[in-house]
Every structure is written in C-alpha cells, then in structure tokens.
Amino acid sequence: MDMSYQEKSILGSLLAVGVVFGYYFATVVRDLSRPEFDGASLPMGRLVLVVVAIVVIEIVYHVVLALESKPEPKDERDTLIASKAYRNAYFVLSAGIFVVMCAVMLAFKPFLTVNLVLLVWVLAELAQFATQLFYYRRGLR
C-alpha cells in the first residue's frame, strides 16, 4: 500500500497513542479491580511515564519518517481534511465531557473522574487521527 508522508505520520501517531494509552488504561482497569485500591496508591509516575513515552516515540518516529521520505507541502486538501478531523474530534470530546459530567453527578471517585477525562481526551485524539487517515485514503467527497 502506497502511503503519503501525511498518511504515514498520522498512522504512526494513531498507533503510538492507541498502544501506549491502551496499555495505561488497561493497567488502570486492572488496578480498579483490586478491592484495596483507592486511587491514591497509583503512582503518578505511571502517567508521567506514558506522556514521556508518547513524546519520545513521536519524536523518533517522525525524525525517521522525515529522513526516509520527503515531507510534502500542505495544500487546501490537507487543510480540509484537518478541519473535518478536528470537527469529529470535537464531537467526541463534547460527548465525552457530557459523560464525565454525568459521572461527577453520580459521585464517582476523583481518580475515576480524572481518568475518565483523560480517556475522553485520548478518544478525541484517536478520532481525529482516524478521520484524517480515512479522508487521506478515501479522498474528499
């Protein structure tokens, strides 16, 4: 499959965020199942490690990608695809914030609420990357 520089960049970001945050949320769910878990016992370092891992992976991936292929200049099509992707991400974020507000009204623990907000943000980012990749592959219509 022949992919443009933008498609490779988006796919790499989508996979990095999906895998790294997927691992993070899997560990959060695993910790929640422990009866003695109160949220305060979770080391803050785990979240910091995840953020650092994303930054390092993205930098290394994009440097390698830039060395292997020549980045193309952005045109109107890229701008239109980005705007559609941001629209979809904003929709996911708005719906997710509504879910978080409901969780707060149901008196979720602060740890759960914070992780729910983080999950909503990650889902919005994934929606943005997936939308961009979809429109690059399919084309604008």
Which amino acid makes up residue 78? D
Residue 38 has pLDDT above 80, yes or no: no
**pLDDT level of residue 66 (50, 70, 90 thresholds):** very high
pLDDT surpassing 70 at residue 80: yes
Give the pLDDT mean for 5-11.
94
What is the model's pLDDT at position 121? 95
Query: Helices 44-68 and 5-32 sit at what angle, rounded to 10 degrees?
Result: 160
- Tens-place pLDDT, residues 10-32: 999 999 999 999 999 998 888 77
